[in-house]
Structure 1
Amino acid sequence: MLKNHFTIAFRNLLRYKLHSSINVMGLAIGISACLVIFLLVHHQRSFDTFHPDKERIYRVYTVYSGLFDATNSGIAFPIPDAIRKECTGVEAVGHFMTFSNLKISLGAQKEQGKVFEEQNKVVAAEPDYFRVFDSYHWLAGTPQTALSEPFKVVLTESRARFYFGNIEPRAALGQEINYNDSLLVTVSGIVSDLPKQTDLNFTDFISFSTISQSWLKNDVGGLEGMKEWGSTTSSSQVFIKLDKTTQTERLSKQLAQLVKKYQVDKDPKLKLAYPLQALADLRYSTIGIFNDSLAPANRKTLSALALVAGLLLLIACINFINLATAQSIQRSKEVGVRKVLGGTRGVLISQFLGETLVITLVAMLFSIALAKGAMVFFKEFLPEGLTFNLFNPSALSFIAGVLLLVSVLAGLYPAFVLSGFRPAVALKAKLSSKGSGSGVEWLRKGLIVFQFTFSLALIAGTLIIGRQIKFMQNAEMGFNADAVVHFRPPFQYEPEKRTLLSNQVRQLIGVKGVSIHADAPASQGINTRIFNFKGKKETEDHEFLVKGADTAYLNLYDITLLAGRNLLPADSTREYLINETALKQLGFKHPQEALGKNLIEDKTEYPIVGVVKDFHSRSLHEPIRPLVLAISPLGQRRELSLKLATQGKGTDSFKATMEQVEQSWKAVYPGEKFEYTFVDQDIAKFYENEQRTSKIMSAATGIAIFISCIGLFGLVSFMIGRRTREIKRQIWALPLRIL
Structure 2
Amino acid sequence: MLKNHFKIAFRNLLRYKLHSTINVMGLAIGISACLVIFLLVHHQRSFDTFHPDKERIYRVYSVYSGLFDATNSGIAFPVPNAIRKECTGVDAVGHFMTLSNLKISLGAQKEQGKIFEEQNRVIAAEPDYFRVFDSYHWLAGTPQTALSEPFKVVLTESRARFYFGNIEPRAALGQEISYNDSLLVTVSGIVSDLPKQTDLNFTDFISFSTIPQSWLKNDVGGLEGMKEWGSTTSSSQVFIKLSKDAEAERLSKQLAQLVKKYQVDKDPKLKLVYPLQALADLRYSTIGIFNDSAAPANRKTLNALALVAGLLLLIACINFINLATAQSIQRSKEVGVRKVLGGTRGVLIGQFLGETLLITLVAMLFSIALAKGALLFFTEFLPEGLTFNLFSPTVLAFMGAVLLLVSVLAGLYPAFVLSGFRPAVALKAKLSSKGTGSGVEWLRKGLIVFQFTFSLALIAGTLIIGRQIKFMQNAEMGFNADAVVHFRPPFQYEPEKRTLLGDQVRQLIGVKGVSIHADAPASQGINTRIFNFKGKKETEDHEFLVKGADTAYLRMYDITLLAGRNLLPTDSTREYLINETALKQLGFKHPQEALGKSLIEDKTAYPIVGVVKDFHSRSLHEPIRPLVLAMSPLGQRRELSLKLATQGKGTDSFKETMERVEQSWESVYPGEKFEYTFVDEDIAKFYENEQRTSKIMGAATGIAIFISCIGLFGLVSFMIGRRTKEIGVRKILGASISNIVALLSKDLLVLVGISILLGSPIAWYFAQQWLKDFAFHIAIEWWMFALAGGMAIAFALLTLSYQAIRAAVVNPVDSLRSE
TM-score range, shorter chain: over 0.9
CA drift of 1:668 comes to 1.3
Distance 1:564 1:345, change over 3 A: same
Contact 1:571 1:633 in 2 (8 A): yes
Per-residue Cα deviation, 1:395-435 (whole angstroms, up to 9, x for no partner): 22221211111111111111111011111010111222321
Contact 1:105 1:113 in 2 (8 A): yes
Greater shift in the superposed pair: 504-513 or 571-580: 571-580
CA drift of 1:275 comes to 0.6
Per-residue Cα deviation, 1:660-682 (whole angstroms, up to 9, x for no partner): 11111111111112111111111
Distance 1:523 1:731, change over 3 A: closer
3-state DSSP class of the match of 1:562? strand
CA drift of 1:573 comes to 5.7
Per-residue Cα deviation, 1:549-602 (whole angstroms, up to 9, x for no partner): 000000110000011000001134610000011111111111111111111111
CA drift of 1:293 comes to 4.6
Per-residue Cα deviation, 1:500-521 (whole angstroms, up to 9, x for no partner): 1111111122111110000000
In the aligned structure 2, how far is the partner of 1:328 from the partner of 1:563? 80
Distance 1:64 1:734, change over 3 A: farther
Distance 1:572 1:463, change over 3 A: farther
Per-residue Cα deviation, 1:158-207 (whole angstroms, up to 9, x for no partner): 00000001111111000000000000000000000000000000000000
In the aligned structure 2, how far is the partner of 1:346 from the partner of 1:370? 35
Pairs within 5 Å for 1:253-652? 253-263=253-263, 265-290=265-290, 292-572=292-572, 574-652=574-652
3-state DSSP class of the match of 1:490? coil
Per-residue Cα deviation, 1:68-97 (whole angstroms, up to 9, x for no partner): 111111000001000000001100000000
In the aligned structure 1, how far is the partner of 2:81 from the partner of 2:807? 90
Per-residue Cα deviation, 1:612-638 (whole angstroms, up to 9, x for no partner): 011000111100000000011111111
CA drift of 1:712 comes to 1.8
Contact 2:121 2:292 in 1 (8 A): no
Q: Does 1:149 align with 2:111?
A: no
CA drift of 1:472 comes to 0.7
Contact 2:259 2:272 in 1 (8 A): yes
Distance 1:591 1:730, change over 3 A: closer
Distance 1:16 1:463, change over 3 A: same
What is the aligned partner in structure 2 of residue 658 from structure 1? 658
Greater shift in the superposed pair: 239-248 or 348-357: 348-357
Contact 2:67 2:270 in 1 (8 A): yes
3-state DSSP class of the match of 1:730? helix
Distance 1:47 1:15, change over 3 A: same
Distance 1:481 1:130, change over 3 A: same
Per-residue Cα deviation, 1:440-485 (whole angstroms, up to 9, x for no partner): 2232233223222321221111111101100011010010111111
Distance 1:444 1:265, change over 3 A: closer
Per-residue Cα deviation, 1:102-156 (whole angstroms, up to 9, x for no partner): 0000011111111111100000000000000000000000000000000000000
Per-residue Cα deviation, 1:259-282 (whole angstroms, up to 9, x for no partner): 111115432211111110000000
Distance 1:731 1:640, change over 3 A: closer
Per-residue Cα deviation, 1:683-719 (whole angstroms, up to 9, x for no partner): 1111111110000011011111111121122223333
3-state DSSP class of the match of 1:544? strand
In the aligned structure 2, how far is the partner of 1:673 from the partner of 1:425? 85
Greater shift in the superposed pair: 712-721 or 474-483: 712-721
In the aligned structure 2, how far is the partner of 1:719 from the partner of 1:62? 65
Per-residue Cα deviation, 1:282-314 (whole angstroms, up to 9, x for no partner): 000022311535211011101111111111111
In the aligned structure 2, how far is the partner of 1:286 from the partner of 1:648? 35
In the aligned structure 1, how far is the partner of 2:277 from the partner of 2:49? 15
CA drift of 1:736 comes to 17
CA drift of 1:66 comes to 1.0
What is the aligned partner in structure 1 of residue 189 from structure 2? 189
In the aligned structure 1, how far is the partner of 2:34 from the partner of 2:93? 41
Q: TM-score of the superposition, structure 1-length normalised? A: 0.97
In the aligned structure 2, how far is the partner of 1:720 from the partner of 1:694? 38
Distance 1:434 1:242, change over 3 A: same
Contact 2:725 2:815 in 1 (8 A): no
3-state DSSP class of the match of 2:808? coil
Contact 1:94 1:126 in 2 (8 A): yes
Per-residue Cα deviation, 1:301-329 (whole angstroms, up to 9, x for no partner): 01111111111111101110111111111
Distance 1:83 1:730, change over 3 A: closer
Distance 1:595 1:438, change over 3 A: same
Q: 1:730 aligns with which of 807, 811, 818?
A: 807
Distance 1:450 1:734, change over 3 A: farther
In the aligned structure 2, how far is the partner of 1:719 from the partner of 1:137? 66
Contact 2:265 2:541 in 1 (8 A): no
In the aligned structure 2, how far is the partner of 1:314 from the partner of 1:172? 56
In the aligned structure 1, how far is the partner of 2:703 from the partner of 2:74? 44
3-state DSSP class of the match of 2:640? strand
3-state DSSP class of the match of 1:607? strand
Q: TM-score of the superposition, structure 2-length normalised? A: 0.88
In the aligned structure 1, how far is the partner of 2:474 from the partner of 2:493? 38
Distance 1:490 1:291, change over 3 A: closer
Contact 2:230 2:263 in 1 (8 A): yes
3-state DSSP class of the match of 1:658? helix
3-state DSSP class of the match of 2:409? helix
Per-residue Cα deviation, 1:383-402 (whole angstroms, up to 9, x for no partner): 11111123333322221211
3-state DSSP class of the match of 2:47? coil
CA drift of 1:29 comes to 0.3
Distance 1:208 1:168, change over 3 A: same
Contact 1:201 1:291 in 2 (8 A): no
Aligned-residue Cα RMSD (Å) equals 1.8
Contact 1:89 1:251 in 2 (8 A): yes
Distance 1:738 1:245, change over 3 A: farther
Greater shift in the superposed pair: 287-296 or 312-321: 287-296
In the aligned structure 2, how far is the partner of 1:591 from the partner of 1:192? 57
Distance 1:277 1:573, change over 3 A: farther
In the aligned structure 2, how far is the partner of 1:175 from the partner of 1:19? 69
Greater shift in the superposed pair: 480-489 or 646-655: 646-655
Greater shift in the superposed pair: 563-572 or 187-196: 563-572
Distance 1:267 1:299, change over 3 A: same
Contact 1:74 1:288 in 2 (8 A): no
Greater shift in the superposed pair: 84-93 or 292-301: 292-301
Contact 1:573 1:630 in 2 (8 A): no
In the aligned structure 1, how far is the partner of 2:588 from the partner of 2:395? 59
In the aligned structure 1, how far is the partner of 2:131 from the partner of 2:224? 28
In the aligned structure 2, how far is the partner of 1:573 from the partner of 1:333? 97
Contact 1:572 1:634 in 2 (8 A): no
3-state DSSP class of the match of 1:148? coil
3-state DSSP class of the match of 1:259? helix
In the aligned structure 2, how far is the partner of 1:121 from the partner of 1:736? 79
CA drift of 1:737 comes to 15
In the aligned structure 2, how far is the partner of 1:557 from the partner of 1:40? 39
Per-residue Cα deviation, 1:10-45 (whole angstroms, up to 9, x for no partner): 221122222111111110000000000011001000
In the aligned structure 2, how far is the partner of 1:620 from the partner of 1:214? 38
In the aligned structure 1, how far is the partner of 2:134 from the partner of 2:807? 79
Distance 1:264 1:559, change over 3 A: closer
Per-residue Cα deviation, 1:335-380 (whole angstroms, up to 9, x for no partner): 1112112222222112211211111111111111111111011101
Greater shift in the superposed pair: 683-692 or 262-271: 262-271
In the aligned structure 2, how far is the partner of 1:167 from the partner of 1:299? 42
